[in-house]
Each structure stands twice: as structure tokens, then as C-alpha cells.
Structure 1
Amino acid sequence: MNEMSPLFVISVAAELAGMHPQTLRQYDRLGLVSPTRTAGKSRRYSMRDVAQLREIAQLSSDGVSLEGIRRVLGLEDEVSVLRARVRELEAALADEMLNRPGRRVFAAGSAGEVISLRTGTRARRENAVVVWRPLERE
């Protein structure tokens, strides 16, 4: 069982969210919270749905319009999808790095050029001191 499991009938979800069941029906019609449906077409709310209903209530009490709430929830969903994609890409990158020992690493040289290095080596730093002496006049 996870937070997405459809567990609650509308009356229980409304009580958990501190709302009237008719408000949940309206939010479903508006697409703010879309619970899963049983074969008999009754609504089943998950813990995630209840948390989203509570967030809607908070935003509404802060004076955000229903259209504003819809946009906020859409952006939050998009952020969740993007975070999952970043985790997926990070895992793929880590796997690739483990599978390719000895691949090359690049660094920037003092003049801005690209220096190719083997893994585990460091860029050589120039720390020589150059003394400038003006030409002596005769």
C-alpha cells in the first residue's frame, strides 16, 4: 500500500480534509483533484488526494482563486515529474561512470584552452615565478 492507493470513500476523504463532500465533487468536476473510480463509478480517494485537498483548502484560505490553485497544482506536478527525471538521469550517469573506467576528464587551462586528462590525474599548475627586469640603458 502506498500514498496513491485508492482507499477512502468521499465522506471519509471529506472528513479527513475538513471539507464538505459537495466541495470534493466540485473539485473533481473542475479537475483540481481527480480520484480514481470504482467499477460502479463511485469515487475513491488516496492519501495523496487528501493531502492535495488540504493544500487546496490552505491556498483558498490564503486568497488564491480556483484557477490560481489549478496552476499551482499543475506546476507542483510538473516539478515532481522533473525531479524524478533528474534522479533517473543522475542514476544513469553514475552507472555510466562506473562502467567506463579510464574515460577522459576535461579541465580548463590557464589561457582558457581545454585540457584532456585521464581519470584520477590532476591538471598541472604553473607556479613558476617570472622576474621582469627592464633593459638597462647605456
Structure 2
Amino acid sequence: MTVTATPTPTPTVTVTPTPTPTVTVTPQTVTATPNPTVTVTTAKGGNPTLTSATAVVTQYYEDITDHDYAAAWALGGRNIGGSDYDGWVKGYATTAKIYLGTSSEFGSGQVRAVIYAVQTDGSTKTYEGTYTVSGGLLVSASIRQTG
């Protein structure tokens, strides 16, 4: 008996490797700016009252920087402005932005501040002094220009 075998072809498999993705990590510099939490309570009549003297002074200058003069005036600008509302607002006519540094003892109504007032012409005026806060409002200030 004669057996004839027909060979079956062996399949050829070609594998193309998938490219491995390249991951590039670029280091970043992250600058953290402290953002103090301000506690706000609602006073009789629904007006917010800031509970720390530093928060009051900070909010006062944020309002001025934002050109929300009515809010700054209500926060105590009327007590420390030295003039009527319109005259007080005119005093900030050339102020473009304010940077503020403060220090105080916890629970104290006294806040020591250094104020850097950037003017619309790019120059900076520097002031320093002390604010007194009572009942969530600026009640007095002793500030002088230092530069």
C-alpha cells in the first residue's frame, strides 16, 4: 500500500510590536499663596460681620482695590477717612491696586499693617500703621506714609 502525504503549509505569523508610548514629565514650580479663611456671621438686620480684626482690614483694602468704595466706607472708611464720602473716594483716584501685609494678636482689635498702593502711573506709595477694629468695623487708624 502506498500512502501519499500532502504536506500542509505551516502558517507564518508576522508580529509588528506596538510602539510603547513615551511619557515625558516636566517639573513644575507650584507657588502656594496663603488664603486665610474668613469667618462671617450675620448681624442683626442681615449685614455680614467679620469676626477677626485682620479680616476686617483685609476686606477693607480688597473693597478699595475692587473699587467697591461703598462697601469699604460701610466697613469703617467713614471712621478713618477724614472727609466726606466723595472726598474719600477721590483720595483713591490714582490707586490702581493695593498690596497689604498685616499682623495682630489673636482676638485683638489692633492690627498692624503695611500698605503698598500701586498708582496708575506705575509708582508705589508705602504706608504703615495701626488699625483698631471693634464690632466688625474699623473705628480708628493711625497710618503714615513711609515711601
TM-score, scaled relative to structure 2: 0.20
Q: Which has the higher contact order (CA 8 A, sep 6+)?
A: 2
Larger fraction in strand? 2
**Which structure has the bigger radius of gyration?**
2
Larger fraction in helix? 1
